[in-house]
Each structure stands twice: as structure tokens, then as C-alpha cells.
Amino acid sequence: MEKAYKLLAMQENISFNEAKKLIDSGKVFAFDKKIKIARAMMKPNTKFKIAHTQKPKKIFEDKNIIVINKPPYISSEEISKLYDTPLLHRLDKDTSGILILVKDKTFQKKAINEFKNQNVYKEYLAWVSGIVSEPITIDMPLKVIKSKSGAYSKIDKFGQPAITEIEPVKAFRSKSEIKAVIHTGRTHQIRAHLSYINHPILGDEKYGGKNAKRVMLHHHKFKIFDYEFSVDVPKDFTIMEEYND
């Protein structure tokens, strides 16, 4: 047996440090499962697969904003640095879809007020465990817990108000694709709410989701002021039979 990062380094002819970074970024798989721990002991003949990050694609720009179609495996902060433009909002690293960068400070202030007043439309698509057969409105407050392993949201009566509307899109065996519209923008809101109703997002093991290539969540549509954008799901946003029930 040998440490995963050492085996990966030998397979890809890269340094140990590069191999560790790849594993920590969530891009390395073996036996159709994501490798979570760089120092995990694995068999010497293990064959790894690496999910290569696509380049972010700019789909719109004017004097106020830049709109990016964000691929998974790259953080919002990395994209902000890439375009040297501040973020208007954030998406989790594994989440794909619409990401807005803001160029004008006056517009930024107005936009932040729209978020606060819940005048922004945010629609996501997700693959979840179980069959979702009818619309569900989840109105449960969320409290953010911060730790060394990152932020985590939980249902708490003393938390901030959070409302998520769920609608079924389609089903595959014991899994469902759903549409989620959020009226508030709490940390991990969709992830925590779906876990609460026992339909965790596939790949979202932090909230009880089953193993998948990534957290299967995509920011599909976004509306603010007179702006309206939508982006199709990426190629990896599919459910294959290898995802065990």
C-alpha cells in the first residue's frame, strides 16, 4: 500500500506537491469515487482519473457587470482574480453556472440592495437522492457554523430566514433532477435545505449526499434589474448508472 498522492505523482509524472493539490481540489478519482485524502493508503496498481478544469467563459459584459459561465472545480475568488473584477455574489467551488462580477461601484451598491430586498431571481438545477414528485417550499432559518474545515449551515430557529422553492424536473431510478429557486441567499442554503428534507444533492457529502463526480448543483438562471441570463448545464451534469442507489 502507498499514499494516494505519491501514486498519483508517479502516474502523472508530477511532483508530490502538485499531486496533493490536485487531490485537495477534488479533481482526482479512482474506482469512480473521488479521492478525498491525499495521504489515503491505496494499492500500488490504482489507476487515477483527473477531472480537468474548463476555462471560465464570459457570456456578457457592459459598463456595469461581467457575466461568467463558471465551470466546476474553480473557486469564485479565482475567477475574480482572473478578470481583476470584484464579485457581486459567490458560487461554491463545485457549483457551475452564472457568476456575476461587478465593475461599477454605484451599480454594486444598488445591486446589493436588490439582494437584500429579495428582488433578485436565482434559479438552480440539482440532482438529488430520492424521488421528488411534487413542488416543495422550504421555509427554515439557517445558522452558519464556521470551523477549520469550512463553513456549514444548519437549521436553527435562531438562524437567518431562508426560503427555497423546489420543483421536480425529471427522475432517473431513485434520483431526481430538481429546480430550486431561492428567495434568500444564505450560505449553502440549497444544500442545507435539500438535506433537511432528505433529498441531499448528489456529490454533496458534507450534507449527506451520495458520492458523485462533484456537487451536482448548477446556477441556471439569474435576473436583476433589466438583466436576465441563463446558461445550459455542462457536460458533466449527467447522472450515469455507475452512481449506485
Catalytic residues: 92
Amino acid of residue 184: T
Helices of type H across 57-143: 76-83, 105-116
DSSP assignments along 2-55, one per residue: EEHHHHHHHHHT--HHHHHHHHHTT-EEETTEE---TT-EE-TT---EE-PPPP
The b/e string for 154-172 (b: 16+ C-beta within 10 A; e otherwise) is beeeebeebbbbbebeeee
Pairing of strands 217-224, 96-102: parallel
Asked if residue 209 lies in contact with residue 236, where contact means CB atoms within 8 angstroms, the answer is no
Cα separation of 103 and 53, whole Å? 25
Phi-psi region of 31 (alpha: psi -120 to 50; beta: other; left: phi over 0): left
Q: How far is CA 83 from the centre of its chain?
A: 20
